[in-house]
Structure 1
Amino acid sequence: MRLSSPSRRRSSWRRSATAALAVALLTGAGVAAPPSMAAALPHETAQGSALRSVAELSARRLATGDLVAAAKWGTGSPVDDPARERQVLDSAADRAGELGADPWLTRLVFRDQIEANKAVQRGLHRLWRDHLSGAPAERPRLDDVRKEIDRLNEALVRAIADSAPYRRAAPLCRVALAASAGRVSRERSLDALHVTALAGSLKSVCGSRRQHAE
């Protein structure tokens, strides 16, 4: 029996992860999407380019979850931080209003971002508890990490505002977003934890006030 090489296995896993990400984003809006949909997603258009910025910034923001997890590891600090979360949500909504974007939808997207970031933190803490050898040897300063998160928050609010014209047709938006998120996932070689979190962080991007009210 011929065994596959590690590089082939990694490539196969990335294709499977991309398919799973596409299915999660597409079916989140009730769009039928078999796993083969990932291979059929369109090449990037102006819409895809705008949504790619949202996906890329979301992935970069998720990466800070690794740093926050390391900063809190072994300190007894909880993953949940309601005061900080309210601050981020209020700031994002206020900034969206200043940019002429929808504060309500922006707040929804950032709520998803926060929950996805916490999912990464919890996942890493579970992993480190089970495999102490993989736990971080050093802890970054949480205040420094939060400064980077704040910079990404500003960029993400702008990206959400800039992508508004391309998010009006939800089904088409979902397809373009899935394509962009899949490319970001492949380029960053995200693992299963971060692929799942990325899908969660983007689930409200193509929504609307009416859809979420129903």
Structure 2
Amino acid sequence: MQSWPCSSSARPRPPRPGPLLVLRRTTAGTPGSARSSTFRHSASPRRNSSPPPKWFTGSPVDDPLREKQVLATAARQAGEAGADPDTTVRIFRDQIDANKEVQRALHTRWDADSSRAPESSPDLTEVRREINRVSADLVRAIADSAAARAAPSCGGTLTATKALVRRDRHFDRLRAQALTRALGSVCAQGVFWK
């Protein structure tokens, strides 16, 4: 059995709201003084701390209805928080796509070698509750970080923060690639590392 969440040397740890880690810290304090903290909050896909529940249910990774609900909720919350709904939806879409890339890769691994598959399933209801909480925090972080995301230094800050997140969370190659995908639309200049 493979240890979770990221590499064989990583100890399991409680779930942390990955996508927020980057954005929340970017806007804390004076402009630029805590940029990497905010960016760190949005730097990783919304859920990466337990096995994907869909592995245990046999449900497909793609769930267009659920994705549509998540994106509609994000757009509505963005309007309420003073964030641009279109930008928020783009960032959320990147997060969802990154998460699905991880799930597909893990399912493929586990299909090929069931001894590496997790033995127990997280509760899907609890997972969705956590995702909803983290998503609401991410919308607020997007609203709070508009200036930092529009700054010319956004790409560099995000790149540096990505390295910190990868190191701090002991991301393996799969999760590092997903991290890159998840951050594609964070900076206002657009996708800068896909």
Query: Which band: TM-score by shorter chain?
Result: 0.7 to 0.9
Q: What RMSD, in angstroms, separates the aligned Cα atoms of the two structures?
A: 2.2
Query: Partner residue of 2:40?
Result: 55
User: Is the contact made by 2:97 and 2:182 (CA closer than 8 Å) also made in structure 1?
Assistant: yes
Residue segments in structure 2 that go unaligned for 5+ positions in a row: 1-6, 8-29
Query: Partner residue of 2:55?
Result: 73
Structure 1 residue 48, shift from structure 2 partner: 7.0
Taking structure 1 as reference, are residues 58 and 91 closer, same or farther at Cα in structure 2, changes over 3 Å only?
farther
What is the TM-score when the length of structure 2 is the normalising length?
0.76
User: How far apart are the structure 2 equivalents of 1:48 and 1:124?
Assistant: 38
Q: Does 1:182 align with 2:167?
A: no
Query: Partner residue of 2:179?
Result: 198
Structure 1 residue 110, shift from structure 2 partner: 0.2
Taking structure 1 as reference, are residues 102 and 142 closer, same or farther at Cα in structure 2, changes over 3 Å only?
same
Q: Does 1:141 align with 2:123?
A: yes
User: Is the contact made by 2:42 and 2:183 (CA closer than 8 Å) also made in structure 1?
Assistant: no
Q: Sequence identity, in percent? A: 47
Query: Partner residue of 2:83?
Result: 101
Q: How many pairs does the alignment contain?
A: 163
Query: Partner residue of 1:164?
Result: 146
User: How far apart are the structure 2 equivalents of 1:176 and 1:54?
Assistant: 7
Paired residue secondary structure (2:109):
helix
Query: Partner residue of 1:112?
Result: 94
User: Is the contact made by 1:89 and 1:107 (CA closer than 8 Å) also made in structure 2?
Assistant: yes
Structure 1 residue 161, shift from structure 2 partner: 1.1
Taking structure 1 as reference, are residues 54 and 152 closer, same or farther at Cα in structure 2, changes over 3 Å only?
farther
Q: Which amino acid aligns with 1:63?
A: N
**Structure 1 ranges of 4+ moved more than 6 A:** none
Structure with the larger RCO, 1 or 2 (CA within 8 Å, 6+ apart): 1
Q: Which amino acid aligns with 1:108?
A: R
User: How far apart are the structure 1 equivalents of 2:101 and 2:58?
Assistant: 17
Q: Which of the pair has more CA radius of gyration?
A: 1
Q: Which amino acid aligns with 1:49?
A: A
Please, which of 126, 135, 138 is the counterpart of residue 153 of structure 1? 135
Q: Which amino acid aligns with 2:126?
A: D
Query: Partner residue of 1:88?
Result: 70
User: Is the contact made by 1:112 and 1:201 (CA closer than 8 Å) also made in structure 2?
Assistant: yes
CA deviations on 1:137-194 (whole Å, 9 max, x unpaired) are 111221110101111101111111111111223x421001111121111111101000
Q: Which amino acid aligns with 2:37?
A: R
User: How far apart are the structure 1 equivalents of 2:64 and 2:173?
Assistant: 27
What is the TM-score when the length of structure 1 is the normalising length?
0.69
Comparing 125-134 with 101-110, greater Cα deviation is found at 125-134
CA deviations on 1:119-138 (whole Å, 9 max, x unpaired) are 11001111111221111111
CA deviations on 1:37-68 (whole Å, 9 max, x unpaired) are xxxxxxxx94373453343344262415x43x
